[in-house]
Amino acid sequence: MSIFDELADGWGKPFAQARMLPLEAYRSDDLLQSELTELFGNDWLCVGRTADLAEVGDYLTAELPTASGGNRSVIVLRAEDGEVRAFDNACIHRGAQLLVGCGNEARITCPYHAWVYRLDGTLVGGPYMNESVEVDGSPFDPSQHHLVGLPTEVWEGFIFVSQNPNAEPLAPELEGLADVVGRYEMQGYVRVHEQIDVWNTNWKLLVENFMDAYHIFKVHKDSFAADGDNTLDTTMYPGTGSWAHHRVHHDGGPDLAAADNTHLVGDWRKTIVLAAVFPGFVVQLQPDWLWFLRITPLGTGQVRIAWQVAVAPETLAAQSDPTAYTADVLALVNQVNSEDHPVVEGIRAGVHRPQSPGAPLSYLERNVWDFDEYIRTRLTSRS
Ligand code: FES
Ligand SMILES: [Fe+2]
């Protein structure tokens, strides 16, 4: 049976009958090809935060996975009208890469033959083009040429782009999630760290692990669960076809919001939200800080993880030593990463057995199943 038939077979069962995806799903080149085309080629992919593009001309570059296996580089920038826009990071003359990394530019000048673009992607002009003509024979007209744009949407301070020119708007799909996370005002959180890691595992195993509320008490007994097992404080919520979340809330737990934070009230000041926007965006959102990952495949057995930590502005302002505070948060996140790392690489290392695990999941793995149902639905004839 093909992996697609296997996935279709397991689709649509009640959660009580949930099982792990077949091991073939984590090793199949055919499935990866489908994921790149159908998921990463169509759905909304996070490329960063608006906080990274505060000023007009601020730009960042990001790599989007493609069906051909290579990456597609895009420029994401703050245009003169204040909007965030995304373009292919490629000159329309002969395809030179325009920008590297991040920075600020009033205009974009191609490093190859110095064609110049405005921040809205329109072409100002190119030198020594006086003898060139358009296809209809008229003189070269810069106003007829512009960078190739991608659909771009800002959601709660996160910038998403889609490689599908006709992508359905993202915000309506995430309305239910915005109802949960909107109150945190996370668009104002201040970035304190960013990093890119490559792990030897399948990208789906990383999404599943991030959304798995079941392993915390065990794998993270010395980090997240160091002050006690809070598993019973975790509430699982059913996901949708495009996102999932659960919350951790301890009645007697500490107020995680700074005193100056007046927008979070009541229990929300003690609530941690774990959310995923499929396929590859996950975030741990707390009243005091957030940690988000942009997860993209580099093959069936390798994943690229671009992650940031950002701190709530009131929390940062309340610190007598913000540097020490930030270092503590990062130490915690690094420890958590080091605890997850061998587990998710170990699962991938074991995918070459013929027999997939077939035992039931815990109710705490509800969001793992939500993500797996998204995979089953979108990559089989169920969609
Ligand atoms: S490739 Fe950019 S100006 Fe020639
Ligand atoms: Fe973990």
pLDDT tens figures, 40-92: 999 999 999 999 999 999 999 999 999 998 999 999 999 999 999 999 999 99
Is the sign of the CA dihedral 114, 117, 121, 124 positive or negative? negative
Amino acid (one-letter) located at 89:
N
Whether residue 365 contacts residue 350, with contact meaning beta carbons closer than 8 Å, is answered with no
At 251 the pLDDT is: 84
How far does residue 61's CA lie from ligand 1's centre (Å)? 18
**Model's pTM, two decimal places?**
0.97
Q: pLDDT grade, residue 237 (50/70/90)?
A: very high
- Give span(s): CATH 2.102.10.10, the chain: 47-154
Whether residue 97 contacts residue 72, with contact meaning beta carbons closer than 8 Å, is answered with no
Q: Which CATH class is domain 47-154?
A: mainly beta
Query: Using N-to-C axis directions, what is the helix angle for 366-379 and 203-210, rounded to 10°?
Result: 140
The first and second tokens of residue 277, run together, are: 């926007």
At 165 the pLDDT is: 97
- Give span(s): CATH 3.90.380.10, the chain: 3-38+171-379
Using the predicted structure, report yes or no on whether residue 383 has a pLDDT greater than 90.
Answer: no
Q: Is the CB of 94 under 6 A from ligand 1?
A: yes
Q: Atom of ligand 1 at shortest distance to CA of 110?
A: 2
Whether residue 376 contacts residue 8, with contact meaning beta carbons closer than 8 Å, is answered with yes
**DSSP-derived 3-state class of residue 84:** strand
The overall average pLDDT reported for the chain is 97
How far does residue 337's CA lie from ligand 2's centre (Å)? 7
At 134 the pLDDT is: 97
Q: Is the CB of 132 under 6 A from ligand 1?
A: no
Q: Which CATH class is domain 3-38+171-379?
A: alpha beta
Whether residue 242 contacts residue 173, with contact meaning beta carbons closer than 8 Å, is answered with yes
| Terminal Cα-to-Cα distance of the chain (whole angstroms) | 19
Is the sign of the CA dihedral 29, 33, 39, 41 positive or negative? positive
**Tens of pLDDT along 322-341?**
999 999 999 999 999 999 99
**Tens of pLDDT along 136-175?**
999 999 999 999 999 999 999 999 999 999 999 999 999 9
Percent residues over pLDDT 70 in the chain: 99
| Average of per-residue pLDDT across 218-240 | 94
How far does residue 87's CA lie from ligand 2's centre (Å)? 34
At 24 the pLDDT is: 97
- Residue bearing the bigger pLDDT, 251 or 221: 221
Q: Is the CB of 27 under 6 A from ligand 1?
A: no
Dist CA 267 CA 255 (whole Å): 9
